[in-house]
C-alpha cells in the first residue's frame, strides 16, 4: 500500500490505514487485485485482474462489502463487456452488455428488484428478444415499444431470419406473430375486445394450419401470459376443421363439444350447478351421427339419475338408474333394463346393495 508491503490479513497493519492496496502474483509480478482502504476498511474502488494482469472487473464497494455505484466487466482486449449501476448490491437502472468489438448486445433496465425492460440484438444490430416496460425507462425503448407511436417491431434470429413481429403501443403488446425457421406462422397472440387470444399452428404440406385457440377473459395480464380465466378453447384437425370447443364461465368449464374428422358430432357435455349440486349432462355419438349414450355425472364423476345406451338403429338398448350421492359423492346402480334391437324388453332387474340382481318376472314383451 502506497508503495510499501502490507499484510492485509493482519488487522494491526491495516487499522486506521488509508490508501490503495495492490496485490501482485509473486512469480510474474502481474497485478491481481486493487482495493481502496479507508481508515482500515476496504471501502471504495476495487479492481480484479486475470493471470496476465488484464483488468477483468471494476466496482465501488460500500462499508457492507456490497457493490454500490458503477460495476463494470471487461474483455481481455480492454473493451467493456458489461456495465451497470448497483445500489447496495442490487442492480438498479440501466445494464448494458457488449461484445469484444464494443457493439451493444443487450440493454436492460432494473427497478424495484425486477427487470422492467430488455432488448437483445444479433451481430447485424437487429433485435432478437424484446420485453417492454409499461412506461418508458430508457431511450432504447422509445421506438421499439411504441412510446413514440404504435409500431411493429420485427425480431430476428442470429442469422437475420425473421422470427416474430410484435405490435406495441405505449409499451403495451397488442399482437404478436411468431414464425418457424422456414418462415411459416407458428403462433399468434392478439387482443380482441380486451380479451387475450392465443393461437398455435402446425405445418402441414408446407402451410401453416391452426391447431388450437384459447380466449381469456379481460384482465390486466400481459398479452403473452398463459395464465388467467378462460372463456373458450378450441382445437382443430390437421385439415383445419374444428374438432373440439370448450366454453367457460367464472373460471369453470360449462360446455364441451367434440366432432369427428368427418364433421359429425362426437360429444356434447354441459355442466350445471356448483358444489354438491354440480352435474354434467353428456351425450356421446357414433361416427354416423346417431346417439350412442346419454349420461349424467356428479362433480366426483359418479353416475347419477338415469343413464342410457342406444343400439345402432337408434332404439334404446340399456337404461340404468343410480342412487342419490352419499356423503362422499358416491352412487350405486339400483335398477337396469335392457332391450333388443327390435325394442323388446329382455331384462328388467333391480340391483341390490350387494350387487346381486333381482329380475322381475313377466312383463318383458315390448
| Digit-coded pLDDT (tens) for 182-211 | 899 999 999 999 999 999 999 988 899 999
pLDDT, tens only, 138-181? 999 999 999 999 999 999 999 999 999 999 999 999 999 999 98
Cα-Cα end-to-end distance for the chain = 111
Cα–Cα distance, 162 to 154 (Å, whole number): 7
Give the model's confidence band at 6: pLDDT under 50 very low, under 70 low, under 90 confident, else very high. confident
Distance CA(182)–CA(185), nearest Å, equals 9
Q: Which residues pair with 90 in a beta bridge?
A: 87
Residue 362 above 70 pLDDT?
no
Residues 6+ apart with CB under 8 A from 185: 177, 178, 179, 201, 208
Place of cell 403462433: 187
The pLDDT tens digits of the residues spanning 233-245 come to 999 998 889 999 9
Look over the chain and give the mean of its residue pLDDT values, rounded to a whole number. Answer: 93
Return d(Cα 322, Cα 261) in angstroms, integer.
34
189 strand-pairing partners: 176, 198
* CA 56 centroid distance within chain: 37
Task: State the Cα–Cα distance between residues 131 and 129, nearest whole angstrom.
Answer: 7
Alpha carbon distance 35, 19 (integer Å): 9
* 41 exposure class (CB count in 10 Å sphere: 0-12, 13-18, 19+): middle
Domains of the chain: 1-102 (3.90.930.1), 103-169 (no CATH)
pTM of the model: 0.77
The grid coordinates of residue 65 equal 462489502
Amino acid at each position: 500500500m502506497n508503495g510499501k508491503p502490507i499484510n492485509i490479513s493482519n488487522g494491526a497493519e491495516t487499522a486506521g490505514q488509508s490508501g490503495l492496496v495492490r496485490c501482485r502474483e509473486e512469480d510474474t509480478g502481474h497485478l491481481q487485485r486493487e482495493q481502496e482502504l479507508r481508515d482500515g476498511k476496504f471501502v471504495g474502488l476495487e479492481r480484479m485482474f486475470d493471470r496476465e494482469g488484464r483488468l477483468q472487473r471494476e466496482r465501488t464497494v460500500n462499508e457492507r462489502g456490497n457493490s454500490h455505484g458503477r460495476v463494470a466487466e471487461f474483455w481481455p482486449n480492454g473493451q467493456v463487456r458489461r456495465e451497470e449501476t448497483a445500489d447496495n448490491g442490487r442492480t438498479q437502472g440501466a445494464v448494458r452488455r457488449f461484445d469484444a468489438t464494443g457493439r451493444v448486445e443487450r440493454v436492460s433496465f432494473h427497478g424495484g428488484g425486477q427487470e422492467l425492460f430488455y432488448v437483445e440484438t444479433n451481430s447485424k444490430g437487429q433485435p432478437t428478444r424484446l420485453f417492454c416496460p409499461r412506461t418508458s425507462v430508457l431511450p432504447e425503448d422509445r421506438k421499439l415499444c411504441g412510446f413514440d407511436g404504435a409500431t411493429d417491431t420485427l425480431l430476428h434470429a442470429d442469422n437475420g431470419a425473421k422470427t416474430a413481429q410484435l405490435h406495441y403501443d405505449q409499451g403495451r403488446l397488442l399482437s404478436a406473430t411468431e414464425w418457424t425457421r422456414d418462415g411459416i406462422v407458428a403462433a399468434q397472440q392478439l387482443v380482441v375486445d380486451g380479451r387475450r387470444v392465443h393461437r398455435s399452428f402446425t405445418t402441414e404440406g408446407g402451410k401453416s394450419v391452426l391447431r388450437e385457440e384459447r380466449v381469456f377473459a379481460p384482465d390486466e395480464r400481459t398479452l403473452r401470459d398463459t395464465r388467467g380465466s378462460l372463456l373458450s378453447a378450441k382445437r382443430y384437425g390437421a385439415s383445419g376443421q374444428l374438432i373440439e370447443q370448450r366454453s367457460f364461465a367464472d373460471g369453470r368449464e360449462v360446455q364441451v363439444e367434440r366432432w369427428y374428422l368427418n364433421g359429425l358430432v362426437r360429444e356434447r357435455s354441459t355442466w350445471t350447478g356448483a358444489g354438491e349440486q354440480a352435474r354434467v349432462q353428456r351425450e356421446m355419438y357414433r361416427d354416423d351421427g346417431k346417439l350412442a349414450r346419454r349420461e349424467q355425472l356428479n362433480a366426483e364423476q359418479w353416475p347419477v339419475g338415469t343413464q342410457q345406451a342406444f343400439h345402432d338403429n337408434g332404439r334404446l338398448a340399456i337404461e340404468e338408474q343410480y342412487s342419490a350421492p352419499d356423503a362422499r359423492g358416491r352412487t350405486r346402480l339400483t335398477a337396469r333394463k335392457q332391450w333388443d334391437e327390435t325394442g323388446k324388453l329382455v331384462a328388467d332387474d333391480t340391483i341390490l346393495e350387494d350387487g346381486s340382481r333381482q329380475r322381475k318376472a313377466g312383463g318383458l314383451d315390448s
